[in-house]
Structure 1
């Protein structure tokens, strides 16, 4: 699949932008703080209805305006599709898919499939667990609407339970209502995450081995905060029991201490934990393998080639990793932001469309 064109109105630092794209490679050039990443953000927004940079939709609206609009047209294997998102500072955003307003964001999923790779992702191995949970959630929300609904409901329930735990007097019967819901949604999340990590570990292991000329073997391990069980019913019951056991600790800390909001992933290369003992080069190779594995998994799950957004990441990779990345991305539409016209990029992508951005405006050559 590929995105054919985009329209931005009052989005970030763009007043009005309209442009079409190359179905293979698009190089987005310009100095820092001109709007290159904002353009990628607008593209990404149409995949899951959320930004990869902020949780506040109001941040996306030009600070001098009250409303922003993003619209893309895309071509898929068997049909075309369009997504239009309108964001108002004082109300909920509205989303149209193929001209029809949708009621839930989950109806947008599995439509425009996008993987984002930024310098922040290069730190996914060594940074805090929250970054790794976001990686799992971002990918699974695209390809599994059931996961998106379960995660959304889990977060709402968790926030309500945590607020109630701060009350002076706790009614156990009221708390139990949230405990039941947390167990229900949390069990689904844990089960789906386990399946996902197993699959992504297989793909990333093969890619990592290829990048390192068979010298290193990568394995991903899911570290759930609640022990894994054999089936969803058993998982739900066990989760509920664990929440009850942690009640005194939760009450003392005034927050929920058990659940998938505490999960993590471990990266092992040749049996060595990369977070604690991996070099920066090894950690970056793990991150690259992980991102390329995302593309493979999406292809397996949807039979579509996902779009890859490379946000100022090429300069962070050494020449060998750059070459591997370029060599393997023959079927995917690419959007690459960079501050300079890199000779290696120009040689590798002679037919790329060049989009120059300055202060929220573009010129094309």
Structure 2
């Protein structure tokens, strides 16, 4: 799959632009704060129905405007999908696929599969478990509609259970109602645990081979799923934590507290890995994402590289670029490296300045 065209109307610092993209390599270059990342954000929103930069998508509407509109044409399996995404100042979002309104934003997931790689991803190892769970959920929701449904139901039940826990703290007579919510929490929670374990095992196997190649077989990478509770004892652990949960008004057990671990030669990379090792691990992870999505959907995802090449040394840049020949890649950067220019025989180059996009001829750079 690839994006053939994207248009932005009153989105971030853009008034009204339309860009025709190359099926393979597209490079957006220019100084910082000119609007390069805004284009990637628009693509990300059309794929996931959310921004990777803010939880309040209405912030993406141009200053003093009432709405923003993203229009994207996706070439997929010999057909074209037209995605229209509207953002309103009142916080509402409206999506149309081929002119047909989408009733639930979650229905957008899986239409366009993307892999996003930004400097923030390099902090995935150092950051807290919440970010690593977010990584799991974004990837799984793109390729597994059943997982998406189970995740949505789990968090609905979790919200109700937490609300009831707070009520029980004031009125013990409501405790009998917990059993209904506990049964549902366990039912959906077990399915989430199983899906996450399967996904982590798959991506670990792929990332391990990639990492071995990157490090000339000097390092053995493993990615391990660290569930907060095993599904076989989830129900029992809920009962054991009941008194604590009532006191705090929060459910302390379940997959909403899961984590994943990255290890090199059986050592925790978060604790013992150098900065260079941590970057190599994330690079291996991102390349594994691409490979896994290819296998799951039988098509290539779209790769978004947001100013990440400047964070990688030349060898890691080469490892990354050598693995993206067959997929559409959209890169943002402040300058054009020789390594990138060598690939421009099959791509487009755009200069971004103050909300304006100007196609360039790479021969004259």
TM-score, normalised with respect to structure 2 = 0.93
User: For residues 66 and 175 of structure 1, do their structure 2 counterparts lie closer, same or farther at Cα, with a shift above 3 Å needed?
Assistant: farther
Deviation for aligned residue 1:169: 2.3
Q: Measure, in 2, the Cα distance between the counterparts of 1:62 and 1:173.
A: 51
What SS does the aligned partner of 2:45 have? helix
Q: 8 Å contact 2:224–2:261 — kept in the other structure?
A: yes
Question: In the alignment, which residue of structure 1 is the partner of 2:263?
Answer: 268
Question: In the alignment, which residue of structure 2 is the partner of 1:227?
Answer: 230
Q: Measure, in 2, the Cα distance between the counterparts of 1:349 and 1:322.
A: 15
Question: In the alignment, which residue of structure 2 is the partner of 1:3?
Answer: 3
Question: In the alignment, which residue of structure 2 is the partner of 1:14?
Answer: 14
Q: 8 Å contact 1:29–1:356 — kept in the other structure?
A: yes
Question: In the alignment, which residue of structure 2 is the partner of 1:169?
Answer: 171
Query: After TM superposition, what 4+ stretches of structure 1 lie above 4 angstroms from structure 2?
Result: none
Q: Measure, in 1, the Cα distance between the counterparts of 2:349 and 2:8.
A: 18
Q: 8 Å contact 2:57–2:91 — kept in the other structure?
A: no
Deviation for aligned residue 1:15: 1.7
TM-score, normalised with respect to structure 1 = 0.93
Uncovered stretches (5+) of structure 2, i.e. residues with no partner = 361-365
User: For residues 177 and 62 of structure 1, do their structure 2 counterparts lie closer, same or farther at Cα, with a shift above 3 Å needed?
Assistant: farther
Question: In the alignment, which residue of structure 2 is the partner of 1:246?
Answer: 241
- In the alignment, is residue 357 of structure 1 matched against residue 357 of structure 2? no
Q: In terms of mean alpha carbon deviation, does 341-350 or 247-256 score higher?
A: 341-350
Question: In the alignment, which residue of structure 1 is the partner of 2:52?
Answer: 52
Q: Measure, in 2, the Cα distance between the counterparts of 1:45 and 1:111.
A: 12
Q: Deviations over 1:178-233 (max 9, x none)?
A: 3232222212211110110000001101110110111111111100011144xxxx
Q: Measure, in 2, the Cα distance between the counterparts of 1:128 and 1:74.
A: 34
Q: In terms of mean alpha carbon deviation, does 312-321 or 65-74 score higher?
A: 65-74
Question: In the alignment, which residue of structure 2 is the partner of 1:301?
Answer: 296
User: For residues 175 and 59 of structure 1, do their structure 2 counterparts lie closer, same or farther at Cα, with a shift above 3 Å needed?
Assistant: farther
Q: Map 1:144-163; keep pairs closer than 5 Å.
A: 144-163=144-163
Q: Measure, in 1, the Cα distance between the counterparts of 2:156 and 2:55.
A: 14
Q: 8 Å contact 1:106–1:145 — kept in the other structure?
A: no
Q: Measure, in 1, the Cα distance between the counterparts of 2:49 and 2:16.
A: 20
Deviation for aligned residue 1:128: 1.1
What SS does the aligned partner of 2:216 have? coil
Match of 1:185 among 173, 188, 203: 188
What SS does the aligned partner of 2:63 have? coil
Aligned residues: 357
Q: Measure, in 1, the Cα distance between the counterparts of 2:159 and 2:68.
A: 29
Q: Measure, in 2, the Cα distance between the counterparts of 1:166 and 1:89.
A: 33
Uncovered stretches (5+) of structure 1, i.e. residues with no partner = 230-237
Deviation for aligned residue 1:158: 2.1
Q: 8 Å contact 2:9–2:68 — kept in the other structure?
A: yes
Deviation for aligned residue 1:351: 3.6
Question: In the alignment, which residue of structure 1 is the partner of 2:363?
Answer: none
- In the alignment, is residue 200 of structure 1 matched against residue 195 of structure 2? no
Q: Measure, in 1, the Cα distance between the counterparts of 2:353 and 2:158.
A: 43
Question: In the alignment, which residue of structure 1 is the partner of 2:111?
Answer: 111
Question: In the alignment, which residue of structure 1 is the partner of 2:214?
Answer: 211
Question: In the alignment, which residue of structure 2 is the partner of 1:331?
Answer: 326
Q: Measure, in 1, the Cα distance between the counterparts of 2:350 and 2:176.
A: 59
Q: 8 Å contact 2:189–2:231 — kept in the other structure?
A: no
Q: In terms of mean alpha carbon deviation, does 34-43 or 72-81 score higher?
A: 72-81
Q: Measure, in 2, the Cα distance between the counterparts of 1:130 and 1:250.
A: 20
Q: Measure, in 1, the Cα distance between the counterparts of 2:143 and 2:70.
A: 22
Question: In the alignment, which residue of structure 2 is the partner of 1:134?
Answer: 134
Deviation for aligned residue 1:62: 2.0
Q: Deviations over 1:235-264 (max 9, x none)?
A: xxx423322221111122221111111101
